Amino acid sequence: MRYFILLFLLCSFSNAHKVNLFISEENSILDIYSYFSSGKPCMNCQLIIKDKDKIILDNKLNSEGKYLYSPKIKNLEVIVEADGGHRASEKIQVENIKHEDLEEHIKDEQSKEYINIIIGLALIVLIFLILKLVKRK
């Protein structure tokens, strides 16, 4: 039983520092928001905006993990880099950006995280059951 508890803790901490990226567009301005899976904003993380391989912008997110950008090019790649090598990137076309609410986006990401944890634990239990059956024979 203690192995399952330890395994559950390891699974829950594996995504603790995952960086998420949320981009919305309003009045021809990109609202870029980055946060960790815990919900805390990615404060002062490095923001890079590229057009193919050319860097257009290299700046930092503010203390709320946000940055407002007025694009002049339609196809961009937005990259956020946090400490420890954590990174999130998204290729976007400015006219095709989803108009999604930030709170809904965060809830969707958290539900995906819980589903991944449950699937991981189920696979581990399945592996232990198979090993137990093999050991009996």
2-136: which CATH topology? Immunoglobulin-like (2.60.40)
Measure the CA–CA gap between 134 and 136, rounded to whole angstroms.
Answer: 5
This prediction's pTM = 0.62
For the chain, residues with pLDDT lower than 50 are 15
Q: What is the pLDDT of residues 67-101, one digit of tens each?
A: 998 888 888 899 999 887 888 888 888 775 666 66
What residues pair up with 29 in beta bridges, in sequence order? Answer: 26
